[in-house]
Amino acid sequence: MTETAHGENRPVSPKQTEAAAADPYFPNNGDHRYRTHRYELTLDYRPGPNRLAGTARITAIAGRAPLREFALDLAPFKIGRVLVDGRPAHYTHRGGKLRIKPAKPPTAGAAFTVEVHWSGNPKPVRSPWGGLGWEELTDGALVASQPVGAPSWYPCNDRPSDKASYHLSVTTPSPYTVVSGGRLLTRTTRASATTWVFDQPAPTASYLVGLSVGPYRAVPLASPSPGAVTQTGYVPARLQQRFEHDFARQPQMMALFEELFGPYPFAEYAVVVADEELDVPVEAQGLATFGTNHVDGFRGSERLIAHELAHQWFGNSVTIGGWRDIWLNEGFAKYAEWLWSEHSGGPSAQRKAEAAYRKLLALPQNIRIGDPGRSLMFDDRVYERGGLTVHALRTALGDQVFFRLVRDWATSRRHSVVTTAEFAAHLARYGGHAADGLLDAWIGRHRLPPLPLAARATPL
């Protein structure tokens, strides 16, 4: 493993990138017969009529058999044309699947390109949690794709294990600001339209490609030290003062998490405050989106700021290969909230764990967070019990071993795809007998184990 500076792309092994089977939670999403390498998306978006026209050029690698047919996930847009390696391809488009038959099938293991032209009025895709993906706002739009909303706005191999780099060009009317999770390369204005070009070299899951369009003001966040990660807010002008107060400590969060989890995995970090209320903040790679209700001038949502930032390590850089392992994302992000509270003078992680435990005791104990099932994957118990699982590891191992384990997990798996089984093997190398049975008790069983005591945890 080579630990690199901000934003550098760590190679992902073929074992990690080529899924063996469909995700049981979303068996109709994605296509395991190939893996993507890079997406180049060129978009033209008009907020008034909510009109999107796009071209996607996708570089991919065929799997272990000739690719006589393959599929991309895409909502019911109008398709202009489809090319494979520059040749027109036969295709069908229904049920959210763009099925493509190349004129000359790529051979096993061969690289190929597919080009898709599409247009229409983007809208969220239906899900058990409401609409996901592209969301039209009163004045602009945002993307909230977790877990399966990415096809609402671009063609993709929509499975979290298939990570790729992205190049994104977006043209909008000039009064609008475009924000994405990559580094802004250029911004070019011609007549009344502006084109924003972003590049994200780090491997990115399709649901983590973020985009916001709106009349935002850029607000730099002061860095606590030279050479720190560039952090910028994009907010409605009237909320700038509140934003500057509520997000003032984000640079200190970044410094703490880099100390505990290793170097920030990407080049920059952006936060958007959409000019509408949102039920919850939206995570994306190198980007998080909050609603007006998360900016109150009293730091009332500071734990959520910490939570979304922590996802850049746990979920975005270190990405789960299947949704049954979502506790690895949410448990570590929840525990990061508690670590920030402890570090910043709030309640200790132990106090936070005690409160979470009392909350869980009052709820049905009928969930195994290591495989909660699709209908419960975003249940509060996954988050709270996930955080308690991490706290239990800390109390069992002691701070010195625990924080080395966490940092090594985040850095050795940087930009990779992981499973709970891999984390269990990682834990075994650090925990010895102290962690025997602990992980299974917390994530593999319904009944709550005893509350972990803080005898070996020292406040930060």
Using one digit for the tens of pLDDT, what is the confidence trace for 187-198?
A: 999 999 999 999
Instruction: State whether 33 and 52 are in the same domain.
Output: yes
Instruction: State whether 99 and 201 are in the same domain.
Output: yes
Confidence at residue 227, expressed as pLDDT on a 0 to 100 scale? 82
Looking up tokens 């929840």 gives 334
Q: Which helix (H) or strand (E) holds 167?
A: strand 164-173
pLDDT tens figures, 446-457: 999 999 887 555
C-beta of residue 233 within 8 angstroms of C-beta of residue 268: no
In a domain, 341, yes or no: yes
pLDDT greater at residue 106 or residue 460? 106
In a domain, 455, yes or no: no
Instruction: State whether 157 and 178 are in the same domain.
Output: yes
Looking up tokens 């017969």 gives 33
Q: How confident is the model at residue 17 (pLDDT cuts 50, 70, 90)?
A: very low
Q: How confident is the model at residue 9 (pLDDT cuts 50, 70, 90)?
A: very low
pLDDT tens figures, 41-88: 999 999 999 999 999 999 999 999 999 999 999 999 999 999 999 999
Classified as helix, coil or strand, 73 is strand
What range defines the domain where residue 376 resides?
A: 322-443
Rounded-to-integer distance, Cα 278 and Cα 290, Å: 7
- The number of beta carbons lying within 10 Å of the beta carbon of residue 185 is 12
In a domain, 451, yes or no: no
Confidence at residue 458, expressed as pLDDT on a 0 to 100 scale? 61
- The number of beta carbons lying within 10 Å of the beta carbon of residue 229 is 20
Instruction: State whether 307 and 361 are in the same domain.
Output: no
pLDDT tens figures, 223-246: 667 788 999 999 999 999 999 999
Instruction: State whether 280 and 172 are in the same domain.
Output: no
Give mean pLDDT, residues 375-387. 98
- Proportion of the chain above pLDDT 90, given as a percent: 90
406 token code pair = 């966490």
Instruction: State whether 182 and 295 are in the same domain.
Output: no
Is this model's pTM higher than 0.75 or not?
A: yes
Instruction: State whether 246 and 122 are in the same domain.
Output: no
Residues paired with 53 in a beta bridge:
44, 119
The residue among 325, 269, 40, 54 whose CA lies nearest residue 171 is 54
In a domain, 258, yes or no: yes
In a domain, 454, yes or no: no
Rounded-to-integer distance, Cα 303 and Cα 288, Å: 14
Phi, psi for 78 (deg, rounded to 5): -80, 130
C-beta of residue 272 within 8 angstroms of C-beta of residue 287: yes
In a domain, 459, yes or no: no
Domain boundary among the residues 215, 241, 260 is at 215
In a domain, 449, yes or no: no
pLDDT tens figures, 20-39: 478 999 999 999 999 999 99
Instruction: State whether 229 and 269 are in the same domain.
Output: yes
Instruction: State whether 311 and 358 are in the same domain.
Output: no
Domain boundary among the residues 199, 215, 231 is at 215
Q: CATH number for the domain including 375?
A: 1.10.390.10
What total of structural domains would you count in the chain? 3
Instruction: State whether 147 and 221 are in the same domain.
Output: no
Q: How confident is the model at residue 3 (pLDDT cuts 50, 70, 90)?
A: very low
Residue type present at position 95: G
Q: How confident is the model at residue 2 (pLDDT cuts 50, 70, 90)?
A: very low
Residues listed for the chain: 460
Instruction: State whether 140 and 272 are in the same domain.
Output: no
Average of per-residue pLDDT values in the chain: 93
Confidence at residue 11, expressed as pLDDT on a 0 to 100 scale? 38
Instruction: State whether 221 and 211 are in the same domain.
Output: no
Q: CATH number for the domain including 97?
A: 2.60.40.1730
pLDDT tens figures, 274-333: 999 999 999 999 999 999 999 999 999 999 999 999 999 999 999 999 999 999 999 999
Domain boundary among the residues 215, 230, 249 is at 215
In a domain, 234, yes or no: yes
